[in-house]
Structure 1
Amino acid sequence: MHLALHWPPNFLINDEKTVLKALKKIFGKDPAEQPGMQAIETPSNMGEEKQPDRFESASRAKSSAASKPRRASKPSAPPAPAWKLEDFVVEPAEGKTRFHDFKLAPELMHAIQDLGFPYCTPIQAQVLGFTLKGRDAIGRAQTGTGKTAAFLISTITQLLETPPPKERYMGEPRALIIAPTRELVVQIAKDALGLAKYTGLNVMSFVGGMDFDKQLKQLESRYCDILVATPGRLLDFNQRGDVHLDMVEVMVLDEADRMLDMGFIPQVRQIIRQTPPKSERQTLLFSATFTDDVMNLARQWTTDPAIVEIEAQNVASETVEQHVYAVAGSDKYKLLYNLIEQNDWTRVMVFANRKDEVRRIEERLTRDGISAVQMSGDVPQHKRIRALEGFREGKIRVMVATDVAGRGIHVDGISHVINFTLPEVPDDYVHRIGRTGRAGASGTSISFAGEDDAFALPAIEALLGRKISCETPPAELLTPVPRKH
């Protein structure tokens, strides 16, 4: 039988599938499959090539696969068991506070276990005791005491316990952390990512000196839960209308004393005016010193804050062996070179007071065969991050830095800190030597006291509450630096 169906030119088919279904009932199968029957031409398929049916394609693929020799299938790996709080066992210890002693979300406890934190540091134990209950807090602590984890754990807990609003814009962070330097912002953001990795919270960081558009794209791609930023770059985004601060539930000001020193307080005031009133947000403020200016700011920006103090001198003196060499200014570089080279030190941090000093020291060390990098305000941000990573990975032996650039540098395993010039501000001395002897490890600091900076030593000793004996360097440490050919 040869049957062709042609539709009249004025015949419109509204439901092609219905017609095909009816014809199937008549013939018992697809009309196109009847011997000698032509495919039905409808307005929707006229002039088109017939596409292979997806089931037909699958059948062909299956047939082709069947003709090939079959490999023994590997048993699929069983799914990893879900993490439970019972997996994180920390025995109670006298005089120590466990993270288990606080009511923290399992996702957060999982991250804390991954990071290897069984017990709280003193400032963590004290701060969390107040902030987890919703109180504002002012903390006095140097870097290296664990204060960053203290305010991050508190912030993450607040965001997990309070569901986000149903309506929010991409550029509306729920927690805002302001820090004075780019390095400190990058470090805080890195720590936040580590603690929030199982929570689903998004962490972003804004710093000057890096690609503006790249930072803007991440803001446009997803919601922002925790934003870490330097004041200037945050204001750039805010004034352009890309970031709105009206939903901030937690605000953290880190190193308030350094922000005062660097002249950032007018910018910080502008930022805080964009956030909800202090009665409607939790505010945490941290500073290495409690000057009158810092306490005045704290009173303006917090409500009935708990005050937590960790004495800086205890942190400095207990874990760091301190030495001072009396040396002429002209011999300082020889002493530095010989200390590093003769002792084969591999991870050393050198501090100087001025950017030109930092540049000169780094250039001389590099010329004399010791791998070194500099960290100062003159170095572009992308180079500073690359230098920090090289130092952290052990590819660079020496990092030379100013105090401003040295803030926020957290690198494990720094064996020695050398003060090429003594700082004019005693607190900076404690901060510098705190780069070594971190997390309970021992470290060594060596300071060069020359004719131009020895006057700073008495004020440093007064802060520490003890004398530091001055030594004359051994003759072998003052031998001329060999010239590299």
Structure 2
Amino acid sequence: DDITMTITRSVLLRATTRALRPQIPRYHQSPLKLHTAVLQKSILTLPCSCRYEKISVTSSLLQQLRFHSAEPAATPIITSEKIEEFVPPSFSALNHLHPNSLRALHKMLGQNATASEIQARTLEAASRAEGIDVLGRARTGTGKTLAFLLPTIETLLKSDDWPRNKIGAVIVSPTRELALQICQQANQLLREHNRSLKPAIVMFGGVSKVNDFKALERNIPSILVATPGRLKDHLNSDAFIRNKGSIRDLFSHTKVLVLDETDRLLDMGFRDDVQNIISYLPKKEDRQTLLFSATIPLALSDIMDSTMKPGYATVDCITDSDISTNTNAQVVQTHVIAPPTRIVQSVMEIVLHAMKERDHKIVV
């Protein structure tokens, strides 16, 4: 049977593991002590409800124990200011969206898909005036990638002074995994613009630079996605692309610069790399910059001064005092306790089970 425990400030886990042992398999008893200790530490700030239930991930797995963390009991906030609630619009209701982009979104997300707050408001802000820069604040998992890809493509489609044999947009990402994901989504959108825009390519460290050169020989992309270290190495080199010229010259007419997760770029020590990359791009007055960051540290001000024009638009989808905007409040978190002798097998079966979901994303 399910075991439900309601934990409050006045009840500090008096229901001990001894009371639970008759109902829990032997190999679950030791891990349960660890989790109750964690719970005891966490409830000192907010009361919560906890629920344990036996589940079966796959038919071949033994019954496991999954932990579900309920929503914390939030304290009402009294304010005299009326906060307008965001109502997600359908993508077809958005202004400034090219019909081909809309068709691509319907193929990617379905006919009834709606835009997240950061997606809808970034597209609106970036379209207010030609070339206006945008500072976007949003948590991970809120659709930031589409939020900057959509206005980037719109800018490129409207750019009459951008030679198609030059790179139109540069997207700098802190990790190769994120860069690969961005490039994949970019090409899903660009597929519907194949008459006017070329496919995106991605560059990151850890692989031979020759692969990058061969990719550029085959195709000068409309959008280039790269990690900062690899892109800096290329821009600082004297490499020539066969029949295309200097690699640096490919960035001479770039119309859009995107810095994704800029706070992470700074945390990972890429500040000088980013500044070096910017020095090879057209002046900020001659391009559009979309800068995204969940936080605004002091070190970010130097990057903003060198990349963004005065009068940039700010799209802030994070309320620092509102826990509902935290990333962990947007993601369902569970865990499975497996016997020590079946750890590897259990992980493999759970991963295979998760891979059945559409658009799954797994990190082990």
The TM-score bracket by the shorter chain reads: 0.5 to 0.7
Which residue in 2 is equivalent to 1:130?
Answer: 125
Which residue in 2 is equivalent to 1:216?
Answer: 213
SS in 1 for 2:201: strand
Deviation of the 1:113 alpha carbon = 0.7
Deviation of the 1:111 alpha carbon = 0.1
Query: Aligned pair 1:249/2:197, yes or no?
Result: no
Superposed, 1:36-75 pairs within 5 Å as none
Structure-2 separation of matches of 1:391 and 1:220: 38
Deviation of the 1:198 alpha carbon = 1.0
Structure-1 separation of matches of 2:324 and 2:115: 17
The 1:301/1:193 distance shift into structure 2, 3 A limit, reads same
Query: Aligned pair 1:186/2:175, yes or no?
Result: no
Which residue in 2 is equivalent to 1:139?
Answer: 136
Question: Paired residue for 1:173, among 143, 167, 186?
Answer: 167
SS in 2 for 1:300: helix
Superposed, 1:397-436 pairs within 5 Å as 412=360
Deviation of the 1:218 alpha carbon = 1.1
The 1:394/1:266 distance shift into structure 2, 3 A limit, reads same
Which residue in 1 is equivalent to 2:26?
Answer: none
Which residue in 1 is equivalent to 2:108?
Answer: 115
The 1:391/1:235 distance shift into structure 2, 3 A limit, reads farther
Q: How many aligned residue pairs are there?
A: 257
Deviation of the 1:197 alpha carbon = 0.9
Which residue in 2 is equivalent to 1:280?
Answer: 286
Question: Paired residue for 1:370, among 337, 346, 361?
Answer: 346
The 1:213/1:413 distance shift into structure 2, 3 A limit, reads closer
Q: Deviations over 1:201-222 (max 9, x none)?
A: 2201001112322221111112
Work out whether residues 392 and 412 of structure 1, in 8 Å CA contact, stay in contact via their aligned partners in 2: no
Which residue in 1 is equivalent to 2:61?
Answer: none
Which residue in 1 is equivalent to 2:14?
Answer: none
The residue identity in structure 1 corresponding to 2:306 is Q
**Alignment RMSD (CA, Å):** 3.2
Work out whether residues 257 and 287 of structure 2, in 8 Å CA contact, stay in contact via their aligned partners in 1: yes
Question: Paired residue for 1:265, among 256, 271, 278?
Answer: 271
SS in 1 for 2:299: helix
- Which structure 2 segments of 5+ residues have no match? 1-85, 241-246
Structure-1 separation of matches of 2:279 and 2:342: 47
Q: Deviations over 1:306-359 (max 9, x none)?
A: 111122732436544668xxxxxxxxxxxx7xx2438xxxxxxxxxxxxxxxxx
Work out whether residues 251 and 282 of structure 1, in 8 Å CA contact, stay in contact via their aligned partners in 2: yes
Structure-1 separation of matches of 2:351 and 2:234: 31
Which residue in 1 is equivalent to 2:300?
Answer: 294
- Which structure 1 segments of 5+ residues have no match? 1-93, 324-335, 343-363, 374-389, 398-409, 419-485
Question: Paired residue for 1:153, among 133, 150, 154?
Answer: 150
The residue identity in structure 2 corresponding to 1:287 is S
Q: Deviations over 1:65-100 (max 9, x none)?
A: xxxxxxxxxxxxxxxxxxxxxxxxxxxxx9232323
Structure-2 separation of matches of 1:109 and 1:228: 22
Work out whether residues 136 and 305 of structure 1, in 8 Å CA contact, stay in contact via their aligned partners in 2: yes
The 1:157/1:106 distance shift into structure 2, 3 A limit, reads same
With a CA cutoff of 8 Å and minimum separation of 6, indicate the structure with the bigger relative contact order: 2
Identity of aligned residues (%): 34
Work out whether residues 169 and 257 of structure 2, in 8 Å CA contact, stay in contact via their aligned partners in 1: yes
Which residue in 2 is equivalent to 1:314?
Answer: 324
The residue identity in structure 1 corresponding to 2:159 is T
The residue identity in structure 2 corresponding to 1:125 is A
Structure-2 separation of matches of 1:265 and 1:278: 17
Superposed, 1:445-484 pairs within 5 Å as none
Work out whether residues 162 and 168 of structure 2, in 8 Å CA contact, stay in contact via their aligned partners in 1: no
SS in 2 for 1:370: helix
Which residue in 2 is equivalent to 1:99?
Answer: 91
Work out whether residues 176 and 248 of structure 1, in 8 Å CA contact, stay in contact via their aligned partners in 2: yes
Question: TM-score with structure 2 length normalisation?
Answer: 0.63
Work out whether residues 126 and 132 of structure 2, in 8 Å CA contact, stay in contact via their aligned partners in 1: yes
Question: TM-score with structure 1 length normalisation?
Answer: 0.48
The 1:119/1:322 distance shift into structure 2, 3 A limit, reads closer
Deviation of the 1:411 alpha carbon = 5.8
Work out whether residues 162 and 254 of structure 2, in 8 Å CA contact, stay in contact via their aligned partners in 1: no
Deviation of the 1:165 alpha carbon = 4.1
Work out whether residues 256 and 285 of structure 1, in 8 Å CA contact, stay in contact via their aligned partners in 2: yes
